[in-house]
Amino acid sequence: MSTSSTCPICLTDFVERGEIAKTPCGHFYHIECINRALVESRRCPYCRANVVGVEKIQANTRPDRHQHQSHRRYVTPNGIVTHVDHDSFRNHHLVDAGDNDEDLVTMNAALFESLIQPQPTGAQFGRPHPSSQLGNRPPRLAPLPGMTLHPNGKKKKKKKKKKKKKKKKKKKKKKKKKKKKKKKKKKKKKKKKKKKKKKKKKKKKKKKKKKKKKKKKKKKKKKKKKKKKKKKKKKKKKKKKKKKKKKKKKKKKKKKKKKKKKKKKKKKKKKKKKKKKKKKKKKKKKKKKKKKKKKKKKKKKKKKKKKKKKKKKKKKKKKKKKKKKKKKKKKKKKKKKKKKKKKKKKKKKKKKKKKKKKKKKKKKKKKKKKKKKKKKKKKSDLVQHDILSLFLVVCAVTLFQIGLPSTAHFPAPRFMDSVGGGR
């Protein structure tokens, strides 16, 4: 039985990769790995038993996978799940089963079951254990055939490594063989291609020769045809020449006749032209005379018109001069009137200014008089005030000398009381 948590084919952990498959013989693989293996042979890669179908199990992480390394979970062929301590495996070894040795495989299974002491579970009474249901993580089983269990529960992978090395060597040899085969195939292909090319070249040469022969035949035929055509053309040319000669003779005769006719016509035309010219000359002379007369008349008319225009211009000039004189006179009169008005206005303004000045002077004089009066009054008041104050002081001093009570209860006169300002 496959009793490890790794896939026996790809040797990777079940948790790291996707879905898991269980064979009818009770071994666990990755679905991809077992499908590839079953394509080659319908046998379990582990125990070599016939396999019809595969049961699909989804990998699931459980808390019990974090248990101590020496305590693992195992499943018997009957489907009973137990947890066994690895110490019970000490000094017990499984025998390496060969590829086709089914007796040793069964012996290994019996030995494994004798070491496990299963506890009574629901599976014994026809009810499956919950841990063996679909969707749980696959059980950790015993190591691969040909491997021993370490006392601490660790695996030794020496034999695996050797097998891997052997496999690698085999693969390398296979690759080398494949490369050699490929090279041979390539060489064969090249040779075949060369042969084909040679054959093609030969065929092409043959075709070219055939074409050349055909071309030569065609050329000969063409030459014969050309010769025949040339002969025919020569005959035709001779006939044409004869016809042309006849035509030329006829044409010459016709031309002579035409020339005679043309000469006659020309003579007639010349006569007519002369007559026409004479008539034209006469007409021109008449026209010239008429034109001269007309010109003379026009000149006379122009002269008359010019005279009339001159007279009109003179009249207009005279009228303009008269108008200008009248305008000048009117302007002069207006200017005189304006000057008179301005003079009158100036006189009035001067009179008004004089009156205003007189009034201002009178006002100033009045103000000066008032100020003088006020100053005189102020001076007289101050003098009176000073005299009174001196008198009071003298009285107070005399009374003090005599011994009479002083005039302290009388308020001393202030110099600024009677007047609005100081001295």
Q: What is the mean pLDDT of the chain?
A: 70
pLDDT of residue 27: 87
Measured distance CA(230)–CA(232) in Å, rounded: 5
Cβ atoms of 129 and 79 closer than 8 Å: yes
Higher pLDDT, 378 or 125: 378
- DSSP string covering 303-342: HHHHHHHHHHHHHHHHHHHHHHHHHHHHHHHHHHHHHHHH
**Closest listed residue to residue 141, CA positions, set 54, 76, 58:** 76
Cβ atoms of 74 and 106 closer than 8 Å: no
pLDDT in tens, 359-368: 888 888 888 8
Measured distance CA(112)–CA(94) in Å, rounded: 8
Cβ atoms of 89 and 101 closer than 8 Å: no
The H or E element spanning position 22 is strand 20-22
pLDDT of residue 129: 39
pLDDT in tens, 233-242: 888 888 888 8
Is the pLDDT at 65 greater than 80, yes or no? no
Which of 6-10, 72-76, 238-242 is most confident?
6-10
pLDDT of residue 311: 82
pLDDT in tens, 255-275: 888 888 888 888 888 888 888
Which of 21-35, 52-66, 149-163, 398-412 is most confident?
21-35
Q: What are phi and psi of 77, to 5 degrees?
A: -60, -25
- 20: DSSP letter: E
Mean pLDDT of 188-206: 81
Query: Coil, strand or helix: which one is 76?
Result: coil
pTM above 0.75, yes or no: no
